[in-house]
Amino acid sequence: MNTQKYYYTDSYITDFQANIIEAIPYDDKFAIRLDKTYFYPESGGQPCDRGTINGEEIVSIIESQGVTLHITQNKLQEGLAHCHIDWDVRFDHMQQHSGQHILSACFYKLFNGETSSFHIGKDSSTIEIDIESFDHNMAEQIEEMANGIIYKNTSITASIVDKDTLAALPLRKQPKVDSNIRIIDIKDCDCSPCGGTHVNSTGEISIIKIKKFEKLKSSYKFEFLCGKRALKDYTYKNYVINKLSAYLSSPDSDIESAFNKLTDDYKGLQKQVSSLRSELISYDVEQLFLQASDIGNAKVITKVFDNREFNDVKLIAQGLASKPSSIALLASKGQNCQMIFARSEDITVDMNHLLKSILPVLNGKGGGSPKAAQGGGSGDIDAALVAVVEALKLQ
């Protein structure tokens, strides 16, 4: 027996009585079947309602072969039950869905863009419009038309029509079913088949705002907000704008130019820092090379830096290795240590072998090539480097 679905005729009921016909095991939960329901199941891009049956929370609502199943964690006894719909969730979905119909109608009327998909997400909704190009000026036109329809506070009605009546209606899209065709009619705006829950008038949507859009292969995807979601988004963004305004010591109307100036200044400082960093590394290379120890035909440079960025240490090692007959054994010591061993082209000592010879005592790991190797570990890195130098003396 199919469930009587009263959400089709009245989306504003939040409390009702219904008989529990049966409770069927459903995975590790139970599917509760009622003789009638105002609970909306997940369908057509709209999430299901939330609420309770005899105080038991409904975790999801699905439609299966004409039967609405209310999924609960615990089994409920058959008989008369009190059912409660979470109005905040229901009304939010009504605002988003009715707003989508208006938005889709505006896309079609202004730019001949047809809606190919729609989804109400937790925080925002999305629609995909089959349109070749789009820009911010077009978004403003869409929003102006859509919100103008809201301000007129025109009626939104739902009705079941037969095929003869359907043929005379100015439909934006054709229905996907052949019977029990439900039409949502937004006066002087849109007429479309739909099984979702909707508000009674456009004024209840409050506002429609396109949040952002992106180009897909042959269409555009739009993220939008209606009603309370739009207000919540505006409240947050107003808070951020005021914080930025105070931080930048700039009125909100000039925040963009103030931010651009701050960004340009930051980029300029980055260039200066990069230049000074290069000069410092060059200076370190020259000073360390002057302090090199002669071991055989090679000049060996050892240095343990305290909390020096390892990228800098690697650049110093590269600089030293560019000099003739040089071996650089460098490390950066912080909570742990990182090491890099590098040599010039005219030296034949295997840096990878040299590094791996001390990794066990440092509980470390790493590797590389005969010319350069790097790794990390913990322990007494100073003593380890002394051991490496002694090993070099024996070669």
The DSSP code for 226 is E
Residues contacting residue 54 through CB under 8 Å, at least 6 positions apart: 76, 81, 82
Rounded Cα distance between 95 and 109, Å, is 21
Give the CATH number of domain 4-85; options: 3.40.30.10, 1.10.3720.10, 3.30.2290.10, 2.40.30.130: 2.40.30.130
d(CA 386, CA 293): 12
Q: What percent of the chain has pLDDT over 90?
A: 85
The DSSP code for 296 is: T
Q: What is the mean pLDDT of residues 65-89?
A: 96
> What are the residue ranges of CATH 3.30.980.10 in the chain?
91-236
Residue-wise pLDDT tens digits, 181-196: 999 999 999 999 999 9
- The confidence score (pLDDT) of residue 177 equals 84
Question: What would the two tokens of residue 8 be?
Answer: 């089709």
90 within 8 A of 11, measured Cβ to Cβ:
yes
Q: What is the CATH number of domain 91-236?
A: 3.30.980.10
Burial code (b: 16+ CB inside 10 Å, e: under 16) for 295-318 equals beebbbbbbbbeebebebbbbbbe
How many Å apart are CA 387 and CA 112, to the nearest integer?
77
Query: Which whole-number Å values give the CA distances from 43 to 40, 64, 119, 179, 205, in the listed order?
Result: 8, 11, 10, 17, 21
Digit-coded pLDDT (tens) for 110-167:
999 999 999 999 999 999 999 999 999 999 999 999 999 999 999 999 999 988 889 8
What residues contact 140, with CB distance under 8 A and at least 6 apart? none
pLDDT at 361: 87
Average pLDDT, the chain: 94
Contact between 363 and 378 under an 8 Å Cβ cutoff? The reply is yes
Domain 276-394 belongs to what topology?
A: Diaminopimelate Epimerase; Chain A, domain 1 (3.10.310)
The answer for 146, left when phi > 0, alpha when psi is -120 to 50, beta otherwise, is alpha
What residues does CATH 3.10.310.40 cover in the chain? Answer: 276-394
DSSP annotation of 3: P
Over residues 205-229, the mean pLDDT reads 97
Q: What are phi and psi of 262, to 5 degrees?
A: -60, -40
The predicted model gives 252-275 an average pLDDT of 93
Residues of the chain with CATH 2.40.30.130: 4-85
Confidence check: pLDDT of 335 > 80? no
Tokens 């025109």 sit on residue: 154
pLDDT > 80? residue 2 = no
CB contact set of 252 (below 8 Å; sequence gap of 6+): 241, 242, 244, 245
Answer yes or no: are the C-beta atoms of 316 and 281 closer than 8 Å. yes
Residue 1: pLDDT band with limits 50, 70, 90: low
**Mean pLDDT within 352-371:** 92
Amino acid 39 reads F
By DSSP bridging, strand 36-37 and strand 4-5 are parallel
